[in-house]
Amino acid sequence: RKEVEQDPGPFNVPEGATVAFNCTYSNSASQSFFWYRQDCRKEPKLLMSVYSSGNEDGRFTAQLNRASQYISLLIRDSKLSDSATYLCVVTMNTGFQKLVFGTGTRLLVSP
């Protein structure tokens, strides 16, 4: 089982739609969680951290479910500019601390 798993997609949605991605992680001792955004042929950039109580940044909402070991990203009112790959990142301690990236979920928003 992969340490961090994401549905690769692509998720094809029309402008204005609401879309949600999940990311599951295998290590119950995982400590920190993040969503990064990566545009085609560009570097990843931090979208938002994920806090235990859940957090919101404009149209984006991130949530953590420790019991089921997954994090989620909800995007409301999708824009064309939201088209990108969304990477889930988890820090975990398996004898030493490490950051593990998921393979990403691709989102395509169409007019």
Question: Which chain residues interact with another protein by CB under 8 A?
Answer: 4, 8, 31-32, 34, 36, 41-46, 49, 87, 89, 91, 97-99, 101-104
Minimum gap (Å) between residue 8 Cβ and another protein: 8
- Cβ 26 to another protein shortest distance, Å: 14
- Would you state the structure tokens that stand for residue 48, as one six-digit string? 């938002």
Residue 14: asked if its preceding bond is cis (omega within 30°), the reply is no
Q: Which two tokens stand for residue 38?
A: 């990566």
Q: Which is nearer to another protein, 64 or 78 (CB)?
A: 64
Q: Is the CB of residue 48 less than 8 Å from the CB of residue 57?
A: yes
